[in-house]
Amino acid sequence: MSGVDLVLRGTRLRWGGTWVEAGVAVDDGRIVRIAKEPNLPPADETVNAPGQLLLPGAVDTHTHFSYGRPDRTDLGTGSEACASGGVTFFVEQAASTPEHCPPTLDVPALQEKVALGERTSRVDFGVHGGGCAGNLDQVPGLLATGVAGIKVYLGWNPVGRYQASDDATVLALARTLAGTGAPLEVHAENPSLVAAATEALKRAGRTTPEVYTDSRPTLAEQEAVSRVARLGEAAGAAVHIVHLSSGWTLPVVREARARGADLSVETCPHYLYFDTGTYRERGPYAKVNPPLRSRPEVEALWAGLLDGTVDFLASDHAAPSAEKAPGSQDIFSIPPGFPGSETMYPVLMQEAFRGRLPWERLLWLLSEGPARRFGYYPRKGTLLPGSDADFVLVDPRATTVVRNERLHHHSEFTLFEGWSLTGVPVRTFSRGETVAEGVFPGSVTGRPGRGRYVRAREVTGPASPGGSGGGAGTARPPPP
């Protein structure tokens, strides 16, 4: 008797706020059934995974795989890091170095980035559009081709014609996005406050890594979030703050939401696990924009993660490491950024194993939350019949020590070097196909070019079960 393509048996999955023993059946790349043992259909391939946790793959909506030296990283190498770390869907940012492909400021550039991904990626992906004064007329075309959102920079021209936006441009972009569901994404730091603080430090001859946080004060983030929230509100547009760095910015977020602003925020693992002390310990390797913050700000960020003020997590993955020579001590001349896609899910799931984060919150922050905000849910970001069969097997007893030389991210360092993890991914599936296998970081088995571009807000799959911030389908009926 011919059955479905694949069945996983003996697994435990989250259902209604608890663990249930159930398996999944996959056909043609999608989940067709979630059921207890006797109710699973026959299959061509069966994976027996007794005692292992079956979790939705992570969705990393902030990656810079096509930024930096093309001889070292690209969408293909980035997707290796994803597969290894249980990230089954990534959304590549708009900025890119021209040697990879142009920044996604118009449809031809978007098509080039998509083609690059479809040649090289091992997992499915989406792409962000870029916005600036020079491409306002291109935004409707970008939205029609399925970009996740439109990213703007308030300062610092990232690449060539991808210019920083002033307030009038931000407002004009927000008006273009109003009613489309696509968020205006903002790197929220007031550039003039950053420039003034940086110049003052340089004039005083203070250029060591330890001063870096002072060069980009929290006030610059608070002011920028407050301003773009107002501009978005005035336009009736959704605004998304990327890589929010300080828990002391969260009161500004709550205030804007209380007025009715459609404002979401992401933060990154590095703002949760590292602080200003890391500049002392890691020197130039700790440079990132916005910078690492003080311990009280980190604690406030954790509180916001738990109470729902922070919407979700993303890695802001970049791998500029070769230029971060340890000998170089002028922090202002060193490129910013950390690799992070590969370590994000294994590190954060430690919090759920230890009881610091409820499992539903973890799965919301890393999977359902970002998939919903950018219009990929329920095809991505959940385990439901009809969803893509993107999931991760986690062995709660498997242990590993993070060693950069064993990671697949093609970066020369990880801030998580030497961390011991218990309970890590042992196998990653993308549309039902195994793309990585072995205790994290396992072997990447997914073929380059098997990944497909997915358009935002053009989702086919199961009807939304009407979940909310609780996540992970707390109101679902139990599996049969």
Q: Which residues, 389 to 428, sit near Zn ion by CB under 5 A? A: none
Contact call for residue 124 and Zn ion (CB under 5 A): no
Binding of Zn ion at residue 60 (CB under 5 A)? no
Strands in 43-48's sheet, in edge-to-edge order, are 30-35, 23-27, 4-9, 43-48
Q: Which stretch binds Zn ion (CB under 5 A): 101-109, 313-321, 372-380, 444-452?
A: 313-321
Q: How far apart are CA 343 and CA 82, in angstroms?
A: 9
Nearer to Zn ion, 26 or 272 (CB): 272
C-beta of 176 vs 341, nearer to Zn ion: 341
Q: Which stretch binds Zn ion (CB under 5 A): 163-171, 255-263, 310-318, 410-418?
A: 310-318
Judged by CB under 5 A, the stretch of 129-137, 315-323, 394-402, 415-423 that binds Zn ion is 315-323
Cα 47-53-57 angle, rounded to 5 deg: 90
Q: Of 95, 346, 348, 129, nearest to 240 (Cα)? A: 129
Q: 261 by DSSP, 3-state: which?
A: coil
Task: Report how many helices (DSSP H) and strands (DSSP E) the chain contains, helices first.
Answer: 14, 20
For residue 391, CA distances in Å to 63, 128, 253 come to 20, 23, 32
CB of 337 to Zn ion, least distance (A): 8
Position of tokens 């929290």?
218
Nearer Cβ to Zn ion (91/172): 91
- Distance from the first to the final alpha carbon of the chain: 22
Query: Least CB distance from residue 92 to Zn ion, whole Å?
Result: 10
| Cα pseudo-dihedral 113, 89, 346, 78, rounded to 10 | -20
Q: Which helix (H) or strand (E) holds 111?
A: helix 107-120
Q: Which is nearer to Zn ion, 135 or 341 (CB)?
A: 341
Interacting stretch for Zn ion, rule CB under 5 A, among 33-41, 193-201, 308-316, 472-480?
308-316
How far apart are CB 319 and Zn ion at their closest, in Å?
A: 12
Residue number with the shortest CB distance to Zn ion?
A: 316
Produce one character per residue of 399-416: b if its CB has 16 or more CB atoms within 10 Å, e if not: ebebebeebbbbbbbbbb
Say if strands 58-63 and 53-56 run parallel, antiparallel, or are unpaired: unpaired
To the nearest whole angstrom, how small is the minimum distance from the Cβ of residue 45 to Zn ion? Answer: 38
25 or 292: CB nearest Zn ion: 292
> What is d(CA 383, CA 289) in angstroms, rounded to the nearest whole number?
34
Q: Least distance (Å) from Zn ion to the CB of residue 147?
A: 15
Q: How many chain residues interact with Zn ion (CB under 5 A)?
A: 1
Nearer to Zn ion, 188 or 305 (CB): 188
Strand partners, 433: 430
Q: How many CB atoms are located within 10 Å of the residue 264 CB? A: 23
| Closer by beta carbon to Zn ion, 176 or else 289 | 289
Based on CB atoms, which residue is closest to Zn ion, 316 or 390? 316
Q: Is 316 in the site for Zn ion (CB under 5 A)?
A: yes
Rounded to a whole number of angstroms, the minimum distance from the CB of residue 182 to Zn ion is 18
Query: Closest approach of Cβ 406 to Zn ion, in Å?
Result: 25
Quote the DSSP letter at residue 478.
P
Footprint of Zn ion (CB under 5 A): 316
